[in-house]
Chains A and B, each alone.
Chain A
């Protein structure tokens, strides 16, 4: 066992920013907008660092796919305690069209190359809400998956994962190597302390291209249009239930 964990982190528009759609409805405005690490990716990094602190694993390698700015996100993870980073350089149109399938292929290739024991990802990104990369990565590697994890325990060469599902909690036991996707309650990410932020400067970030990993990132999807959600119309206050029934009949909904 290499004792190495691969963590994928995504640079997304900060959750507090008010999103605006571009006038040509092609996508959302990203220029000059505050970006940060996807919150579920933060939780993934935290889990990996915790495992290292408990000495269950030896090295945390952080991966991000995107243009130069992706390195900022990697640095944040390094400041949280990851050991080194891999920046997969994807720019321009390729980056716009980069989706879960492409990222999973990259993650799978890196997991093999780095001989990772574990791949931890956030369950989904808050910009596209795909919730696919973890599952696809596991399938490509033919590894077990523990998705929506709210608790992960290493037990020898197996892993116990408590999953958050619609009906409650499900506990499964899977073999390693495996893919885990982090859900909200898995942990509370630590603050990157200032000493660690300064130490992160010295940690290594390798830069590779998808082609170097033998990955074809052509997209099979074409985004046709992006629209804002419809504006909430004003409601009407009604006096009695009878009025409500009448209104609903009028609107043709019953």
Chain B
């Protein structure tokens, strides 16, 4: 066993990798007693043969991605959170070179052409990143700014924008939400007026993840005067065009390592061929990928919730209060059991929705339910666990406080709770009749 510690230590010295050390509260101990930086989650299933959606390849994918996260991402998270941004080009290039940015994208453009269950596996594994900002940024690149382009874009457009995004050479961002339109996508005001061979774009976008470093934006704009669900188009817009202005980087409650921009478009000219698919279909195209976006978000937060519970168990096991570990108090271990139960329930919903989806079924209702639950459960887990960390939970030194801040966004972004509820009610036929 001695070599295990030695190997770990030598690994640190020889290769200059700084694994996030959880030692700050437990003091200096021999490594065999040390809580590792990767708590083994209780939900790991050893055999691929029994899993509902995952095969050996999925597990191999997760293992490889985990190595990249542990060696290239996690050691820098604290620094990037403090700086309020992360080097997207560098990180995306590493992920792109390993094939993780084009999992369900067409093979002709550097993707792997695999089904959505592989994207879910990637998302689950990204939950091991010790913040919410970076997985979110990656998710925008892989499953928000690029799906419509992959499905409906012209070959020329895909070569210019999709291929480099999959390779990790270009950073993408999504321009849908505006200052005056978030949940109500149909009321966006950004206009693209046709002038000959070009569109002239005026307006602005808000909440643009990756916005300060993106090479291109997948922009939803009004391209005609028709009915609001049929007059919008998606346009691939290079961010370095004259008239594109990154007005500011938004200071947020959480997701600090993800740069979020407010962008203005002032008479920006772009060739008409940069439109994705058919003019007027932009709204529909964007809607089509909502099921995937929502399941992706849930997959991500499940892993992080597991980690928070495990770290809370480890902390409360060694933290003594009134002569016994905090964990030994029934209210604590019972509450953690309740939370873990709900996490498993949500995981079951995610996997069964994914299984149905990859067989070609529409899972809008289930995906919306999962997203709704994901956002709310994350808040509960963060809040309950933070309480058990006591004063330490309130400091910036621990993951639980970062998770508390980061997870609050889930109920808001990517489809607010209220929108999810509206969708579920539509399926339940309980909405007021017009």
Give 1 or 0 for each of A197-208: 1 = CB within 8 Å of chain B CB: 110110000000
> A34-B44, A129-B2 known; A194 and B98 CB under 8 Å?
yes
Is A17 engaged at the interface, CB distance under 8 Å to the other chain?
yes
Q: Kindly report which residue of chain A lies nearest to residue B45, judged by CB atoms.
A: A32
Q: CB of A19 within 8 A of chain B?
A: yes
The reply on B433 being an interface residue by CB < 8 A is no
Report the separation of the CA atoms of residues A32 and B45 in the bound assembly, to the nearest whole angstrom.
7
User: Is B278 interfacial (CB-CB < 8 Å)?
Assistant: no
Contact pick for B33, options A127, A192, A232, CB 8 Å? A232
Neighbouring B residues of A196 by C-beta, 8 Å: 99
Contact with A along B18-52 (1 / 0, CB 8 A): 00000000000110110111101000101000000
Count B interface residues, CB 8 Å. Answer: 37
Which one of B59-67, B194-202, B219-227, B341-349 contacts A?
A: B59-67
Cα(A201)–Cα(B61), bound, Å: 12
B352 interfacial by beta-carbon distance below 8 Å: no
Binds A, one of B5-13, B141-149, B372-380: B5-13
Within 8 Å by CB of B64, from A34, A197, A229, lies A197
Give Cα A72–Cα B55 distance, bound, in whole angstroms. Answer: 11
CB distance from A67 to the nearest CB of B (A): 12
A99 to chain B, nearest CB (A): 16
User: CB distance A184 to B99 under 8 Å?
Assistant: no
A220 lies within 8 A of chain B by Cβ: no
Alpha-carbon gap, A43 to B283, bound state (A): 50
Within 188-230 of A, Cβ neighbours of B (below 8 Å) are at 188, 191-198, 200-201, 229
If over half of A's interface residues share one DSSP class (helix, strand or loop), that class is named, otherwise mixed; here it is loop
Q: Given the complex, which residues of B lie within 8 Å of A188, measured CB to CB?
A: 15
Q: Is the Cβ of B61 less than 8 Å from the Cβ of A39? A: no
Does chain B have a CB within 8 A of A176? no
Contact B37 A16 (CB under 8 A): yes
A16 and B61 contact, Cβ closer than 8 Å, known pairs A39-B7, A72-B56, A184-B14: no
From residue A168, how far is it (CB to closest CB) to chain B in Å?
15
Q: Which residue of B lies closest to A13 (CB)?
A: B4
The residues of A that contact B103 with a CB separation of less than 8 Å are 194
Contacts known (A79-B60, A194-B112, A195-B112); A15 close to B4, Cβ less than 8 A: yes
B7 and A17 form a contact (CB under 8 A): no
If the complex has contacts A16-B38, A200-B60, A232-B33, are A191 and B67 also in contact, measured as CB distance less than 8 A?
yes
- B63 and A194 contacting across the interface, CB-CB below 8 Å: no
Tally of A-B residue pairs with Cβ under 8 A?
90
Is B1 on the interface with A (CB-CB < 8 A)? yes
**Given contacts A185-B14, A193-B97, A194-B61, is CB(A75)–CB(B36) below 8 Å?**
no
Q: Is the CB of B112 within 8 A of A198?
A: yes
A79 to chain B, nearest CB (A): 6
Closest-CB distance, B270 to chain A (whole angstroms): 33
B10-A184 in contact (CB<8A): yes
Is the C-beta of B100 less than 8 angstroms from some C-beta in chain A?
A: yes
Query: Does residue A97 face the partner (Cβ distance < 8 Å to B)?
Result: no
In angstroms, Cα B64 to Cα A39, docked, is 14
Give the chain A neighbours of B32 by CB distance below 8 A. 18-19, 229
Among residues 92 to 150 in chain B, which have CB atoms less than 8 Å away from a CB atom of chain A? 97-100, 103, 112, 114
B112 touching A36, Cβ below 8 Å: no
**A75 with B56: in contact, given A194-B98, A198-B112 (CB under 8 Å)?**
yes
- The answer to the question of A126 belonging to the interface, with a C-beta cut-off of 8 Å to chain B, is yes
Closest to A38 in B: B7
In residues 98-122 of chain A, which contact B (Cβ within 8 Å)? none
A79 & B44 in contact (Cβ 8 Å cutoff): no
| Residues from 205 to 227 in B contacting A, C-beta threshold 8 Å | none
Q: Mark A7-30, 1 if CB is under 8 A from B, else 0.
A: 000000011111100000000000
Please give, as numbers and ranges, the residues of chain A lying within 8 Å of B99 by CB-CB distance. Answer: 193-196
* Contacting residues of chain A (29-60) with chain B, CB-CB under 8 angstroms: 32-36, 39-40
Does A145 reach chain B (CB closer than 8 Å)? no
Residue A76 at the B interface, CB < 8 A? yes
Does B189 sit within 8 A of A, measured CB to CB? no
A129: nearest chain-B partner, CB-CB = B3
Q: Name B7's contact: one of A72, A184, A194, A229 (CB within 8 Å).
A: A184
Could you name 24 residue pairs across A and B whose Cβ atoms are closer than 8 Å? A14-B40, A15-B7, A15-B8, A16-B37, A18-B32, A19-B1, A33-B40, A34-B44, A34-B46, A36-B63, A75-B56, A76-B63, A129-B3, A185-B14, A191-B64, A191-B67, A194-B98, A195-B99, A196-B99, A197-B57, A200-B60, A229-B1, A229-B30, A231-B33
Task: Identify the A interface with B (CB < 8 A).
Answer: 14-19, 32-36, 39-40, 69, 72, 75-76, 79, 124, 126-127, 129, 184-185, 188, 191-198, 200-201, 229, 231-232
Other A-B contacts than A40-B7, A72-B59, A201-B57, 13 sampled, CB-CB below 8 A, are A15-B4, A17-B36, A17-B40, A18-B36, A32-B46, A34-B40, A36-B63, A126-B4, A184-B11, A185-B14, A192-B64, A194-B64, A229-B30
